[in-house]
Amino acid sequence: MTTLDRVVGGAPGRIEGRDKVTGTVRYAYEYPVPDAVYVWPVQSTVARGRVRSVDAGAARALPGVIAVLDSGNAPRLRPGKSDELHLLQSADVAYRGQIVAAVVADTLEGAREAASAVRVEYDEEEHDVVLDPENPAIYSPGKVNAGLTGTVDRGEVEEALARAPAGVDAVYTTPAEHAAPMEPHATIALWEGETLTLYNSDQSPWRSATAIARLFGLPEGAVSVVADHVGGGFGSKGELRPPTVLAALAARAVDRPVKVAMTRQQMFPLVSYRTPTVQRVRLGAERDGRLTALWHDALQQSSKLTEYTEQTAAGSRVMYAAPASRTVHRLLRLDVPTPSWMRAPGEAPGMFALESAMDELAYALGMDPVELRIVNEPETDPESGLAFSSRNLVACLREGAARFGWAGRDPAPGVRRDGRLLTGTGVAASTYPVFISPSTATARTEPGGGFVVEVAAADIGTGARTALTQIAADELGVPMDRVTVRVGRSVFGAAPPAGGSMGTSSWGWAVSKACRALTAELDGRSGVVPSGGMEARADTTEDVQASRSLSRHAFGAQFAEVTVDADSGQVRVERLLGVFACGRIVNVRTARSQFLGGMTMGISMALHESLEVDPEFGDFVNHDLASYHIATNADVRGLEAHWIDEDDGELNPVGTKGIGEIGIVGAAAAIANAVFHATGSRLRDLPITPDRVRAAGHVP
Ligand code: MOS
């Protein structure tokens, strides 16, 4: 087929869009499973200690109660990697909100009422839930997430800083944040002998199935996860979470199918959050703006249960050509729930710090912040020395500056005032690594000339199903309506999560390989399908391993215009414009939506989102959507996403880099930099709330 006929690069709407808006698709909790009963968790009211006793007498006496589980009677799990998932296996309490008991009843309301009647007594111990940079228990883990090295040193950074004629040394903080997907975490667990089916709201059906099998000591394949449609995840459904284990455990205990759906409040301690960070960035530069030293130190927290270290300084390893650099991750393990992935884990908070510091450096040097980034453009990856497969940060900056109308900007801070409103503009760069994991996929012929492709991908609202159908249709050389792509089921075979922006690249590679193999076989038979049909299965493990050693990253540039109310301190993002370079764009419509979604989440990160920890009780105080603020329609004004056409042949057969996460990266820094330009006050702590703006004394 000619290039003109290809659908990759087009803008088809979501295949399941109509079904979604008419309410006919099924989400995890909605599968009709006969005889299902309900489980409701009892959550710890202390942050640290031991359960002394569970008095279930009153709960058991209530009508419809089938079982009350605690660590004394719950089915046993195999020891495994994450204690977070070892529900009801021990009386120890590691965080407030941890599941210490659970009630199974024949109605949801009955389970809920009975759970409130369970009396739990604790031997409470003193807890520590505060990320205090002076805490002596802080340490530097050898490895951080994504398999990265914790601390990387290049050159003599201290010496270079001391000699530098210009520099920045500042501390930036970001709060804990909650992913808050629209569909709460929900599961139906159904045991049939030694096999388990889980209808699960899940970003990673195949990995969840294998993880649950391991926990229950079952052979691979004994657990099957169904996640046909998922109402958002943003990372919080990327790893197996406790509610799924609870459903499986309860169903095992009562020998009935069990349903669980988190309430919004239950989600806050139970389904993960983004770690808070305290980051110190030190930059040294020549007068012409060239960096001589970059030192990025990121302090984060994890729980006592799991060492989870976010790769917060990773962006600083790839961005700029500083000859001397040190990137350090430090961790403090507290009596808190375990943090986990949230959109652009690492890069989102890390690039807020680096890109704020770059703006501070531009002011220290009297240099345009776009030009400062351009003069520090590296030839090769600064850390590894590897060539970039493609790198178009400069193109993004230039195109963004042109589209935004950056030229002729007066850099003077705090001088543009219209009545009560101060105005300012700011810029920041974005980056996100190209992750690709091996995947499997199957393609087969259908009677009547159609094709079915199966891959254990998850469409969490991104349009993955549609993008994969485009990829399959092009490889098979047929229109999209002759191809049915089935996703969301672990039985389709090994596949990575909808996470790390790797989905389309990883699954797409397997889909394209399977379809290519089927096409080749069909061609060998002159297009005649045998009566039994034909099938081709692909596994990209070897292809992924055979990739050349190169540095692969997506880049982008974000430009923000804000107004700041000089009386109230309220910041409004009047415009946010992003230009991204992410390889081939498979679907113009869904890609744009991904970028806009990421940027909206960036506005939210900049201005609204913050989980407040209660030091006394050890919980998040604002654990609902009334008090945990998220940007909504009225907060989002001018939003524009653009991209550079990037033809990178060193990625995968489809040429994609991943787009799910880069949109949030850099957005908060661009907004904070614009707030400085508007007010003359440097706000280094997120979110930039009216009280913080007023406290900074912004009025010129
Ligand atoms: Mo994304 S936070 O890696 O699911």
Q: What is the pLDDT of residue 170?
A: 98
pLDDT band for position 527 (50/70/90)? Answer: confident
pLDDT tens, residue by residue, 283-298 = 999 999 999 999 999 9
Q: What is the pLDDT of residue 5?
A: 73
**In contact, 305 and 272? CB cutoff 8 Å:** no
Q: What is the pLDDT of residue 79?
A: 81
Distance 659 CA to ligand 1 centre (A): 11
Distance 351 CA to ligand 1 centre (A): 16
Average pLDDT over residues 453-457: 98
Mean predicted lDDT score pLDDT of the chain: 96
Average pLDDT over residues 182-211: 97
Q: Find, among 598, 579, 699, the residue nearest to 640 by Cα.
A: 579
What are the respective helix, strand and coil percentages of the chain, to the nearest 5?
30, 25, 45
Q: What is the pLDDT of residue 276?
A: 98
Which residues, 6 or more positions from 40, have their beta carbon under 8 angstroms from its beta carbon?
A: 102, 103, 105, 108, 111, 112, 114, 115, 260
Q: Return the exposure string of 195-234: e unless at least 16 CB atoms fall within 10 Å of the residue's CB, then b.
A: ebbbbbbbbbbbbbbbbbbbbbebeeeebbbbbbbbbbbb
d(CA 466, CA 488): 13
Q: What is the pLDDT of residue 3?
A: 57
Distance 645 CA to ligand 1 centre (A): 24
Distance 233 CA to ligand 1 centre (A): 8
Distance 193 CA to ligand 1 centre (A): 34
| Helices and strands: H and E segment counts in the chain | 16, 28
In the block, which residue shows the tokens 């060539």?
387
| Residue 661 falls in the annotated catalytic set | yes
**In contact, 279 and 168? CB cutoff 8 Å:** no
d(CA 59, CA 52): 18
Distance 234 CA to ligand 1 centre (A): 6
Distance 339 CA to ligand 1 centre (A): 13
The whole-angstrom distance between residue 55's C-alpha and the CA centroid of its chain comes to: 39
pLDDT tens, residue by residue, 79-128 = 866 688 999 999 999 999 999 999 999 999 999 999 999 999 999 999 99
Q: Find, among 465, 424, 355, 655, the residue nearest to 20 by Cα.
A: 465
Q: What is the pLDDT of residue 519?
A: 97
Q: Find, among 397, 405, 432, the residue nearest to 638 by Cα.
A: 405
User: Pocket around ligand 1: residues whose beta carbon is below 6 Å from it?
Assistant: 203, 235, 238, 341-343, 345, 499-500, 661
pLDDT tens, residue by residue, 625-667 = 999 999 999 999 999 999 998 999 999 999 999 999 999 999 9
Average pLDDT over residues 223-236: 98
Q: What percent of the chain has pLDDT over 70?
A: 99
Distance 308 CA to ligand 1 centre (A): 14
Structure tokens at 126: 């003193």
Rg of the chain, C-alpha, whole Å: 26
- Pairing assessment for the beta strands 186-192 and 195-200 based on DSSP bridges: antiparallel
Give one word for 282, left, alpha or beta, with left for phi > 0 and alpha for psi -120 to 50.
Answer: beta
Q: What percent of the chain has pLDDT over 90?
A: 97
Annotated catalytic residue: which of 310, 383, 399, 661? 661
Distance 433 CA to ligand 1 centre (A): 12
**For residue 229, pLDDT beyond 70:** yes
Ligand 1 pocket: which of 274, 341, 594, 664 to mutate (most atoms within 8 A of CB): 341
Q: Return the exposure string of 513-530: e unless at least 16 CB atoms fall within 10 Å of the residue's CB, then b.
A: bbbbbbbebbeeeeeeee
Q: What is the pLDDT of residue 83?
A: 82
Distance 502 CA to ligand 1 centre (A): 9
Nearest atom (ligand 1) to Cα of 498:
4
Nearest atom (ligand 1) to Cα of 203:
4
Ligand 1, atom 4, residue with closest C-alpha? 235
- List, in sequence order, every residue forming a beta bridge with 301; answer none if it has no partner: 332
Average pLDDT over residues 164-169: 98
pLDDT band for position 4 (50/70/90)? Answer: low
Distance 589 CA to ligand 1 centre (A): 21
Nearest atom (ligand 1) to Cα of 661:
1
Nearest atom (ligand 1) to Cα of 237:
4
d(CA 144, CA 132): 20
Q: What is the pLDDT of residue 81?
A: 65
Distance 271 CA to ligand 1 centre (A): 13
Ligand 1 pocket: which of 347, 661, 664, 665 to mutate (most atoms within 8 A of CB): 661
- Pairing assessment for the beta strands 49-55 and 119-124 based on DSSP bridges: antiparallel
Which of 176-190, 268-282, 591-605, 686-700 comes out lowest in average pLDDT?
A: 686-700
